[in-house]
């Protein structure tokens, strides 16, 4: 076992307490033939803590899948929190609804099914605002998601972007020329240099970028 896996196992065992419901989301993905691409438990816990510490009350999530990270997020926001989650596939949304219902969180989560870029444009058109944003979806569109969510973010909003190491592909100069890793590299550049943001990349999971939108 390499050092990173040892560290990950240590964090998960000591710092992350997945209850049976969260564990069942992962087993349900397998049983339903859905992709195992949820955030790892330590990233879920980080999102939970960031939402709780920041006092977030209205969150936007891009990439729902089975609702694993949504459950962490909604729990961190408390019973008066609201989440709008964007999901491309109805199959994923239906499975997530089942999990959110079992978690007692379905009434706090509104799910928009379809192209996330179009859904974001609709939210922008309605002048919606959010104080917490999570992006964990198709990597090619990450830079476009960033630009759109910044139009939806309140001053002081927290922005979390998962998979910013992209399984190490961003470090391979040849592979990084391919569209998906190139997009992830661009997002890292945006988060680290955009004057509207102050950010850090945490080396947990596959790299969790966390930013605060400046006033």
Across the range 17-40, mean pLDDT stands at 93
Find the distance separating the first CA and the last CA of the chain, reported in whole Å.
Answer: 44
Q: What is the pLDDT of residues 117-136, one digit of tens each?
A: 999 999 999 999 999 999 99
Are 66 and 34 in contact, with CB atoms under 8 Å apart?
Answer: yes
pLDDT at 177: 77
d(CA 93, CA 95): 5
d(CA 182, CA 101): 37
Report all structural domains of the chain as residue ranges with CATH numbers, in order of start.
3-213 (3.40.50.150)
Residue 1 has pLDDT above 90, yes or no: no
∠ CA 99-100-102 to the nearest 5 degrees? Answer: 65
Which neighbouring-strand residues pair with 153? Answer: 130
| Tokens matching residue 215 | 């006033």
| Three-state SS at 6 | helix
191-196 contacts at long range (C-beta below 8 A, 24 or more positions apart): 191/146, 191/159, 191/161, 191/164, 196/150
d(CA 10, CA 207): 17
Give the DSSP letter of residue 104. T
Which neighbouring-strand residues pair with 211? Answer: 159, 199
Q: What is the pLDDT of residues 31-42, one digit of tens each?
A: 989 988 999 999
CB atoms within 10 A of CB 78: 13
d(CA 36, CA 65): 9
Residue 67 has pLDDT above 70, yes or no: yes
pLDDT at 130: 99
Mean pLDDT of the chain: 96
């Amino acid at each position: 076992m390499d050092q990173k896996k040892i560290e990950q196992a240590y964090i998960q065992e000591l710092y992350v307490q997945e209850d049976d419901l969260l564990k069942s989301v992962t087993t349900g993905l397998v049983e339903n033939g859905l992709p195992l691409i949820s955030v790892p438990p330590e990233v879920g816990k980080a999102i939970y803590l960031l939402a709780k510490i920041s006092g977030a009350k209205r969150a936007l999530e891009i990439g729902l899948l089975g609702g694993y990270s949504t459950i962490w997020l909604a729990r961190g926001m408390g019973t008066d929190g609201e989440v709008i989650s964007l999901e491309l596939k109805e199959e994923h949304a239906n499975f997530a609804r089942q999990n959110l219902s079992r978690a007692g969180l379905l009434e706090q989560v509104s799910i928009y099914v379809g192209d996330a870029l179009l859904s974001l444009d609709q939210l922008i058109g309605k002048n919606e605002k959010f104080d917490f944003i999570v992006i964990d979806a198709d990597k090619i569109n990450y830079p476009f998601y960033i630009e759109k969510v910044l139009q939806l973010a309140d001053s002081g909003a927290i922005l979390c972007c998962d998979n910013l190491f992209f399984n190490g592909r961003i470090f391979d100069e040849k592979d990084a020329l391919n569209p998906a890793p190139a997009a992830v590299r661009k997002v890292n550049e945006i988060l680290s240099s955009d004057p509207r943001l102050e950010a850090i990349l945490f080396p947990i999971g596959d790299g969790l970028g966390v930013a605060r939108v400046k006033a």
